[in-house]
Amino acid sequence: MLGDGLVPRERAVRVTVPTLVANGGESTDLFRQAAQATADAIPGARHRTLEGQSWQVAPEALAPMLTQFFL
């Protein structure tokens, strides 16, 4: 997401590595929508929401999600 709030789709479609896009469930609508739009734009990307977290996600909340993604 850039400063204008738009996802650069023409660049996102060129991502070829496994991608996880995450957001905190307590984040603003703008951040939640941007995370989903980013995941939608990247081929094969996964989107997850960490409930109870803001945009400043606690490491202990993020670690299990990352472990699952990388395994």
pLDDT single digits (tens) 27-70 = 888 888 889 999 999 999 999 999 999 888 899 999 999 999 99
Q: What is the pTM of this model?
A: 0.83
DSSP-assigned letter for residue 42 = S
Nearest to 61 by CA among 45, 43, 49: 49
Side-chain-side CA neighbours of residue 45 (13 Å): 21
Residues with Cβ within 8 Å of 46's Cβ and at least 6 positions away in sequence, in order, are 19, 20, 21, 39, 69
- Residue 6 clears pLDDT 70, i.e. is over it: yes
Lowest mean pLDDT among 2-6, 16-20, 56-60: 2-6
Catalogue the E-assigned strands of the chain: 20-24, 46-50
pLDDT classification of 7: cutoffs 50, 70, 90:
confident
